[in-house]
Copies of this chain bind each other. A is one copy, B any other.
Amino acid sequence: MRTRVTDMFGIELPIFAFSHCRDVVAAVSRAGGMGVLGALYFTPEELEMELKWIDDHVDGKPYGVDVVMPATYAGADLGVDSPEDLVARLQGMIPDGHRAFVENLLARHGVPQLSAGADAGRVLLGWTDATARPQVETALKHPIALLANALGPPPKDVVDLAHAKGVKVAALASTPRHAIKQVEVGVDVVVAQGTEAGGHTGEISTMVLIPQVVDAVDVPVLAAGGIGSGRQMAAGIALGAEGVWTGSLWLTVEEADTPELARQKILAATSRDTVRSRSWTGKPARLLKNEWTDAWESAESPGTLPMPLQFMLISGALRRIGQSDAAELATFPAGQIIGAMNQVKSAKDVVFDLVEEYVEAVERLERLTGD
């Protein structure tokens, strides 16, 4: 299978796999696709270790790194470059009423305080320019093939920095207008992502969005959102994309370090068990729908805070929930495709099944138009 994207990266299959788990990234790249490591949850030091591990396990195949550099966020205008100072300033912007709402919610569900030694300081992550840049610098020291930005166009100088190292740049777009802006700053591949996708996502569905983005830009487009099978891959490419970008699909593979409880929830979920919510980061993201997301929509909710304050507000709560028995509050980014994910397979088998069903789908289309 050959598109501009397979040519660009020298890969066999135009299948991109976003994952926070290095094992999944390496396995998909080894299987002929392109693994892309989500850097968000890692400190620069941790990211260095993860990428070193991938370098040692990817058999020389290309892989990518995904960072989050939102175009707009609270504190962007504070002029604070140091991540530590920025965190301190931002902490002061979180209202007491919001902190009380979170504490009360956890208390109602019997969630205990963090055990001693838990990493209570990790409150900001790479949601800002100041905190994502060290991740970019770390990533570019490795032989990565792709740097992706999850929230709109990356800063122009980051694009230039990547290009100077021979690294291609991708960005996620949820409207044709976003895609045009991204190409203007030099993005090489647009990931057009429909509303059904997990994580930060817009309003327009994949079916409607892809042709609009393909027609709006000259660079190759990857279809994202709702891609979990070969039929969906064929549909994405029928819409004009030159490959697919997948995420939720890898949460349940054997290699994934997804907590067992979360894996079971995904395997049991239907496609109606997700919701687009601001309760994770302050920007709309599709999450597993549960008592956490419901609480933020309830009459008692103080409303969510803008990025990155919302995640700072809840980061300790998320860790406390993760260590507790309050499974009903444990949410995470998940796309509607989780409704079709009912068994655990290896990442390699998922890639092979995608390709096999893709080929069947194309052969069926050929038969229907033949006489």
Contact = CB atoms under 8 A, between A and B. Distances in A.
A140 interface: no
B271 A234 contact: no
A209 interface: yes
A277 B324 CA distance: 37
Interface string A201-215: 011111111111000
Interface stretch (A58-66, A107-115, A358-366): A358-366
A240 interface: yes
Interface in A183-209: 194-196, 202-209
Question: DSSP class of A's interface residues: helix, strand, loop or mixed?
Answer: helix
Contacts of A3: 368
Interface in A237-260: 237-240
A280 to B, nearest CB: 19
Interface string A315-329: 000000000000000
* Number of identical monomers bound together in the oligomeric complex: 2
Most chain B CB inside 10 Å of its own CB: which residue of A210, A234, A236, A337:
A234
A202 B339 CA distance: 15
A227 interface: yes
A226 B205 contact: yes
Given A205-B225, A208-B340, A237-B368, 18 more contacts: A1-B369, A2-B368, A175-B271, A175-B272, A194-B205, A196-B205, A202-B272, A203-B271, A204-B272, A205-B206, A207-B226, A207-B227, A208-B339, A212-B340, A231-B240, A234-B365, A362-B365, A362-B369
Kindly list the 9 A-B residue pairs having the minimum CB-CB distance in the complex, ordered from nearest. Answer: A207-B226, A235-B235, A196-B205, A234-B238, A208-B336, A235-B238, A208-B226, A204-B271, A205-B205
